[in-house]
Copies of this chain bind each other. A is one copy, B any other.
C-alpha cells in the first residue's frame, strides 16, 4: 500500500485507528474454545465488527508463534480475512544481518514463500542499516522501525545520551532517514506527551508514526493527535486490549465495535481540528 492510499483510507473512514490483534487463547471468550481454530474465529469476529472504524490491523506475531506451525496457520487465515483496504502490520520486531533480514522480509512480505503478504513489519534498529535495508527492497511495503517504545525498558537504552548531544532514539530517527523515505518507513513512537511528540516531529516531520500505548496502556489520544499529526495525518494509533477484550462474554464483538466506534468518533474530531 502507498502512503497516499493509506491517507485516502484515513479520510474515507475518518479514522487512524489500528486494532492490535494480540489474541490470547486465555483471554478470549470461553464459548469460542470449541471452534476448530479459536484464535482465528475470535479475530474474524473482531475484524467483522471493527473494520468500518479501523484503517489498520496489527497482529502481534508472538501470540501466534507461541503455538508453532498451528499458530502460523491462524495468522495466515487472519491476514487473508482482513479487508484489502486496511493497512496490515506484522508486529514482529525482527532484525538480523543482511541475508537473514532478507529472509524475514520474505516471511512477512512474500506470499509465495510463506503464505503471508503483510503491508509492513516492525523492525528493531540495534543491528543497524544492513539489518533494515532488505525489508525496504519490496515495492509498496513498509518498515516500521522501533524508535521510542512505550514500555518501562525504553529508559534502559533508548533515552541514553550520546556524546553528540542526542538521545539514542533521536539518533535512530535521524540516521535511519538515509535508509528509506517517508513512503516506505514509519516509526514506532510510544510517546503520549506533548514535548516528546514535538521533539520527534521536529526530526521526522513527514513520516507516519505508529503510536501504541493509547487505551489500556494509558496515554491521551488528544495529546497524540494535537502534537503528532501532520498534513497527511501521519498517525496510526494502536489499541489492542481496550478494544478486543472490551467484553469477555458472548457480546465481545459487539462491545469491540462500540469501543472502536468511540475511538473513531474522537479521531474524527481531531482530524477536523488538527489536519
Contacts and interface: CB of A to CB of B under 8 A. Distances in A.
Interface residues of A, number: 61
A125 B127 contact: no
Given A124-B126, A129-B153, A153-B128, A115 B69 contact: yes
A68 B62 contact: no
Given A100-B22, A126-B126, A130-B151, A107 B69 contact: no
A3 interface: no
Interface of A: 22, 60, 62-63, 65-73, 76, 91, 93-98, 100-101, 103-104, 106-107, 110, 113-116, 124-132, 146, 149-158, 160-164, 168, 171-172, 175
B103 A128 contact: no
Cβ-closest 3 pairs across A and B: A128-B153, A128-B156, A68-B114
A65 B161 contact: no
B100 A157 contact: no
A68 to B, nearest CB: 4
Contact of A62 (B71, B104, B172): B104
A272 B50 CA distance: 65
Contact of A157 (B69, B151, B171): B171
A129 B172 CA distance: 19
Most buried by B among A103, A104, A149: A103
B126 A155 contact: no
